[in-house]
Amino acid sequence: MYRVETKVEIFLCARDLAEIDLFCIVYMESAQLGQYIEVGRTEAKSNSVNPNWSKTIQVGYYFEKRQNLRFILRKSDEGSADILGEAFATLGELIGRKGPKILELAGNSKLIVKAEEVKNIKDVLKFKMKGENLDEKDWFGKSDPYLIIYRSLDNDTWVEIFKSEVIKNTTNPFWNEFKIPINKLCNGDLKKPIKIDCYDWDSIGSDDLIGSTITDLEHLSRNGWRFELQTPEKRLKGENTGEIVVMEMTVKKVFSFLEYLRSGIQLNFCVAVDFTNSNQVYTKPKSMHYLNPQMPNQYEKAIWEIGSILEAYDSNNCFSIYGFGGIPNGEKAANHCFPLTFDKSNPYVNGAQGLLEAYRRSLPLVTLSGPTLFKPIIENTISVAKSQPPHVAYHVLLILTDGEIMDIINTISQIVDASNLPISIIIVGVGKSSFSSMEQLHCDIGVLKDERGIKVARDIVQFVPFNKFDGNPVLLAEEVLKKIPIQITEYMLRIGYIPPVPEPVDFETFYTQNFISQNANIQDAPVQRVPEEKVSAENAYNQPVQVADSNDLLEVMTK
């Protein structure tokens, strides 16, 4: 499983504290230990009831997890253990909003919290290089040259990061275009030394060094730049063994998931619940829909755990919920896409709790039927996605089912269509069925194709049987959600969407605008500790910057 590593930095300030000389301790809940663990603390601000703490806290961010945070204010006096302020939030709540989050403390005190992605240059560099007049190393021919590129470590050692293909029998090779992430090449430092070796490949014995050069990205980024290759012997004589020419260098900008999120993209969450006969009537204890006051059923657990995480990424918590495979009251035949609000014009509820309430209320109002068909519910999501501009919202469809799918061909056709839209599909199998047909839907890019022979544009389906996690819905949610950031980023790259960069505002400006002004909108004010100096990427690389595509995204992901 590939993922993009993300760290976020938490900025803190407070207003109208009851006491001076306070500092803030940040804790994160550990699921393994069942308690809050300290992840960092600020300094104490002397003689201030409105501190802007300078020290920030860095933590790892995982979209698929509910990361609970606890903030405690204490006095700087040694030995003082009194808690003088306490507040709670999730990291998702901080990340999923444009502006800071205001946490109420005792009295009229307020803690202002902002989370920003730690700057991590993800650009991908594309090179076209050739060699000219390379030394001949073969007895009965010219040379079979290839390149090795190394990055420099702080301890004066070289680490290989790229090896080109071999070009046979030439002293003037043209190598294929290749890509290297800038972090991998030089960690974003344009002056960090980079070593390039050119070797002659031998089928028997060791390869021969044609020559080496040491340069940096500042020079590599100049189209037409030439590097002399030398061996130690030729260097002493002031001679070279040929030249490497940078024919073309292109910068491909890879935006992060959080950059897209901060641009205002909303996650629209839709749940589809199976009402086919195999579930059994909800009043029977063996029913998959049985409402046990002591133990939530698998439908309830999946809805709550997944929905409660996604709440942080929808500003109005407006989720939709449908049923399929059942007969709603007042209808005579099975319906495969009906709102559990029983209002066709308004299938929406408020957050994860609203989803649970709508599901529970619907059980006596639907007669179980069949068969299990996915096409109508996916078709409905496609219709909703097409009704909005593609960069405004991304749609996550959760299908909860207890049986084998009966319209596999039609479903595959819908998935192929959906793969070109801002849609991800999560299928959770409840109960003890084998779900063998579901595995056909969970494929890599290029494998799944419909009857027309059209391949899926990208991998958008994730299937997981509930019982795989021994009834642990937290692990279930983590498993099915961890691909969502990559799928969103990949889609936005496919359509070439460039997220706008908000103007930075410091804490003092934010406070003035939002606590003194009566007309300010707290949620819409982006904030950073200090306004950042804007540096043109074109100036940094000496080259125009292009938007990356989905293939470039693979270059910056780690296993």
* Phi, then psi, of 544 in degrees rounded to 5: -65, 150
DSSP letter, residue 230: B
pLDDT greater than 90 at residue 470? no
Q: Do 88 and 151 belong together in one domain?
A: no
Mean pLDDT lowest among 37-41, 121-125, 141-145: 121-125
Instruction: State how far the Cα of 340 lies from the Cα of 366, in Å rounded to an integer.
Output: 9
Domain-located, residue 337: yes
Neighbours of 367 (CB within 10 A): 14
The pLDDT value given to residue 522: 35
Q: Is 426 helix (H, G, I), strand (E, B) or coil?
A: strand
Q: Which residue is associated with the tokens 């803190």?
A: 12
Residue pLDDT, tens place only, 474-517: 888 888 888 899 899 999 988 888 888 655 555 555 555 555 43
Taking the C-alpha atoms of residue 100 and residue 53, their distance in angstroms, rounded to an integer, is: 15
Residues 288, 229: one domain? no
Q: What are the pLDDT digits (tens) for 230-249? A: 999 988 989 999 999 999 98
Distance CA 212, CA 485 (A): 41
> What value does the mean pLDDT take over residues 348-361?
96
Evaluate whether residue 349 is within a structural domain: yes
CA quadruple 341, 346, 348, 353: dihedral positive or negative?
Answer: negative
Residue 313 near residue 405 (C-beta atoms within 8 A): no
Would you say 283 and 290 are in contact if contact means Cβ atoms under 8 Å apart? yes
E-strand stretches of 121-265: 124-132, 145-152, 158-163, 178-181, 194-200, 208-215, 226-228, 243-253
Residue 400: strand pairing partners: 273, 428
CA-wise closest residue to 426 among 380, 360, 483, 471:
483
Q: Are residues 505 and 435 in the same domain?
A: no
Give residue 344's pLDDT.
Answer: 92
Question: In this structure, is residue 536 part of a structural domain?
Answer: no
Phi and psi at 115, nearest 5°, equal: -115, 130
The answer to whether 545 and 251 are in contact (CB under 8 A) is yes
**Which pLDDT band, with edges at 50, 70 and 90, does 539 fall under?**
very low
Domain total for the chain?
Answer: 3
- Domain identity same for 317 and 420: yes
The answer to whether residue 441 scores a pLDDT higher than 90 is no
Rounded CA gap, 42 and 48, in Å? 14
| Same-domain status, 506 and 469 | no
Q: Answer with the one of 221, 253, 285 that is the final residue of a domain.
A: 253
Is the pLDDT higher at 168 or at 81? 168
CATH number of the domain where residue 233 is located: 2.60.40.150
Q: Which domain CATH number covers 331?
A: 3.40.50.410
Domain boundary (253, 282, 313) is at: 253
CA distance 118 to 256: 11
Asked if residue 558 is part of any domain, the answer here is: no
Phi, psi (5° rounding) for residue 507? -60, -40
Indicate if the pLDDT at residue 401 is higher than 90: yes
| 292 & 436 share domain | yes
489 close to 255: Cβ distance less than 8 angstroms: yes
Residue 544 maps to a domain: no
Q: Give the confidence band of 205 by pLDDT, cuts at 50, 70, 90.
A: confident
- pLDDT, tens digit (0-9, with 9 covering 90-100), for 307-341: 998 988 887 889 999 999 999 999 999 999 999 99
Q: Are residues 320 and 461 in the same domain?
A: yes
* Long-range pairs for 40-45: beta carbons < 8 A, 24 or more residues apart: 40/10, 42/12, 44/76, 45/20, 45/21
**Residue finishing a domain among 188, 220, 253:** 253
Q: Is there a contact between 247 and 223 (Cβ–Cβ < 8 Å)?
A: yes
Q: How confident is the model at residue 100 (pLDDT cuts 50, 70, 90)?
A: confident
State what percent of residues in the chain have pLDDT above 70.
86
Residue 478 included in any domain = yes
- 537 belongs to a structural domain: no
Which position has the token pair 């070797």?
A: 199
Is residue 559 very low, low, confident or very high in pLDDT (cuts 50, 70, 90)?
very low
DSSP class of residue 359 equals H
Cα 153 from Cα 454, distance rounded (Å): 46
Rounded to two decimals, what is the model's pTM?
0.74
- Do residues 105 and 144 both lie within one domain? no
Q: Which domain holds residue 138?
A: 124-253
Q: Compute the radius of gyration of the chain from its Cα atoms.
A: 29
> Token pair of 385, please?
């996605």
Q: Are residues 357 and 226 in the same domain?
A: no
Average pLDDT over residues 116-126: 78
Q: What is the mean pLDDT of the chain?
A: 85
pLDDT at 155: 61
263 confidence band (pLDDT: 50, 70, 90): confident
| Residue 539 within any structural domain of the chain | no
> Of the ranges 108-122, 251-265, 398-412, which is most confident?
398-412
Listed in sequence order, the residues at least 6 apart from 139 whose beta carbon sits closer than 8 Å to its beta carbon are: none
Dist. CA 137–CA 200, nearest whole Å = 7
- pLDDT tens-digit readout, 10-64: 999 999 898 888 999 999 998 778 899 999 999 988 888 999 898 999 998 888 8
Regarding whether 134 and 115 lie in a shared domain, the answer is no
Same domain, 186 and 300: no
| Residue 70: Cβ-neighbour burial (10 angstroms; 0-12, 13-18, 19+) | middle
* SS3 category, 136: coil
Residue 532 clears pLDDT 70, i.e. is over it:
no
- pLDDT of res. 137: 83
Share above pLDDT 90 across residues of the chain, in percent, rounded to a whole number: 48
Q: Are 135 and 117 contained in the same domain?
A: no
